[in-house]
Amino acid sequence: MQYLLFGPLVWKVFEEWREQGGLPLGSWWLHLLVLFAVRGLTYQFWFSYSNMLFFTRRRRVVADGVDFNQVDAEWDWDNFLLLQTLIGATVVNSPLLPGLRQLCLWNPRGWAIALLLHVGFSEPVFYLAHRALHKAPLVSQYHSAHHFSGVTHPLTAGFGTPLEALILTLAMGVPLAGAFLMGAGSIGLVYGHAFVFDYLRAMGYSNVEVVSPRVFEAFPPLRYILYTPSYLSLHHREKRANFCLFMPALDALGGTLDARAWALQRAAYDGERGGGAMGAPEFVFLAHVVDIMSSMHGPFVLRSLSSTPFANHFILLPFWPVAFAFMLLMWCCSKTFVVSFYYLRGHLHQTWTVPRYGFQYFLPAAKKGINHQIELAILRADRMGVKVLSLAALNKNEALNGGGTLFVSKHSDLRVRVVHGNTLTAAVILNEIPNNTKDVFLTGATSKLGRAIALYLCRKKIRVLMLTMSSERFLKIQREAPAEFQPYLVQVTKYQAAQGCKTWIVGKWLSPREQRWAPPGTHFHQFVVPPIIGFRRDCTYGKLAAMRLPKDVRGLSSCEYTMERGVVHACHAGGVVHLLEGWEHHEVGAIDVDRIDVVWRAALKHGLTPV
């Protein structure tokens, strides 16, 4: 809603457009709006780049990740941009700077004046103000919130109190005002100065080193002219040195320069010990892209989307062609890449993504290529020393690779434990079923999960109506049950057979017509992807099997598809339990029904909780 503050500016542009009969390219109101967008995109660029772990994981300054508390604290990070735009509109509408009325595109003299004012005014003023903000009482009232962020991030640059925003506005605005007062201002200077200012701010907060230490060694004075993410990170963590805006020379003159920044910068850039480069993870969740819309939910796209459960947003439709182009690019020339990470009890957990989309798993011609991608990811994880790799969703499809059996059989000497995590998925679904249940209706009954659920429930003397047209598959599953429990497994071929059953376990998509056979008050438990749409208002619908990670998880800032914050799919949680328990066996192929309760108890023991 805060963007409604731009209403008067938009109205001014509209009026000038109507008066001139075309787009008013000379309108300051228009330039202020465009400038706001360009500046926002500058921070967005650095946000995206710093979160592209497939590029940056070896050059991080601090190893920890941003968590949801920091995301929420920085949610309105762009308020300072709104404030500066409105201040700019006030200046444009006043007679203070008459030079604003005559716009020229370029004036080198103005650039020289702005540079001199930046070095002679902006840098010293910001340095002194910043030092003052670290002293009582200002630090507790105005600056401590900015340092609440545990890990610097491009959007952290904009997070602060109005006083801090005004100090930044002064540091940024005086060089421009000086150039215009001397009659040397230009539209190019406004855009150029704002871009360089924001670019350097976002770079410093990016937590990723981009300038080679060899550049500073070749030209040592540059160390005092340009700061680095390592330089600012030391200030952000320790709060006792490195107060400059962009030029460490001010810290050198003021006796507040922490020289450890140079060694840290080298370590971070070269991925050496002492930097924040990611080592080998101990756990990997191997996912894939669901569809084109969900691809825009990635952690490196928009934080406002990735930090909330996935949902289709109409605002993203204009970007659909771009996402479609990236899908084609990944299909042609991409390999499995790192998407996100978190830490749990000292263990680094990562999510890797196979560069394939859900629909591609159902193309016969794509089967071989997908299995090749998964196999390469498993072998890479094995070389890195990963302990457990959990296959997500369609990566463990029975028709594709036998639930991972293909890879374990082919590479018998694997040290990494390959798991499908479906044992815990079955456990989550089964523990949702009320104790007094007498019968259930099961679709997808002959699938891997359906088989395990049916065999488990019949041992509890619960009658299972298994919807399947294949008597051969049904009888095969029925024979696996102990003789005394086999009568509890009943084959049905029509949905009408479940008209008296209020517990439906859905492993196959249900249309509205099929759902109508459920009696009022039915609860639909689900293990179908994507989840069925709830058409019945007189029934209730469960979510996909999931578990909440333990409370001591660190650095988690993105949601896993439609899951809530801190919640992961049960197959992901199953891999986590496998790691925490230190189990040495693979978990591929059919689900071992006898281990369902074992895995469930292990999950609860380690602090994972059902949703």
Residues 452-482 have pLDDT tens digits of 999 999 999 999 999 999 999 999 999 999 9
Q: Are 69 and 145 in contact (CB under 8 A)?
A: no
Per mean pLDDT, which range of 93-97, 430-434, 558-562, 607-611 is the poorest? 93-97
Q: Indicate the residue type of 350.
A: Q
CATH number of the 424-544 domain? 3.40.50.720
The percent of residues in the chain predicted with pLDDT above 70, rounded, is: 99
Query: What pLDDT is recorded for position 98?
Result: 60
Band of residue 278 on the pLDDT scale cut at 50, 70, 90: confident
DSSP, collapsed to helix, strand or coil, labels residue 277 as coil
**Helix/strand/coil (H/E/C) assignment for every residue in 566-594:** CEEEHHHHHHHHHHHHCCCCCECCCCCHH
Interhelix angle for 79-92 vs 162-181, to 10°?
A: 40
Structure-block tokens of residue 299: 């952690």
Stretch 39-60: mean pLDDT:
95
Rounded CA-CA distance 65/88 in Å is: 35
**Sign of the CA dihedral with 567 first, then 572, 578, and 580 last:** negative
**pLDDT score of 101:** 64
Question: Residue 65: CB partners within 8 Å, gap ≥ 6?
Answer: 151, 341, 342, 343, 554, 555, 556, 557
Residue 100 has pLDDT above 70, yes or no: no
Check whether 124 has a pLDDT greater than 80: yes
Which residues neighbour 72 within 8 Å (Cβ) at sequence distance 6 or greater?
none
Bridge-based pairing of strands 503-506 and 540-544 is unpaired
Element holding 72 (H helix, E strand): helix 68-73
- pLDDT number for residue 530: 75
> 3-class DSSP state for residue 361?
helix
Confidence of residue 99 (pLDDT cuts 50, 70, 90): low
Q: CA-to-CA distance for 208 and 233, rounded, in angstroms?
A: 10
Burial 443-478 (b: 16+ CB within 10 A, else e): bbbbbbbbbbbbbbbbeeebbbbbbbeeeebbeebb
Helix (H, G, I), strand (E, B) or coil at 173: helix
Candidate from 239-248, 326-335, 589-598 with smallest mean pLDDT: 326-335
| Residue type, position 210, single letter | V
Give the angle subtended at the CA of 181 by the CAs of 177 and 185, to the nearest 5°: 70
Alpha carbons 98 and 459: distance in angstroms, whole number: 87
**Please, are residues 199 and 206 in contact by the beta-carbon 8 Å criterion?**
no
Mean pLDDT of the chain: 93
- Enumerate the domain spans of the chain: 2-270, 283-419+571-590, 424-544
Which pLDDT score, from 0 to 100, does residue 96 have?
A: 66
Determine the pLDDT at residue 14. Answer: 93
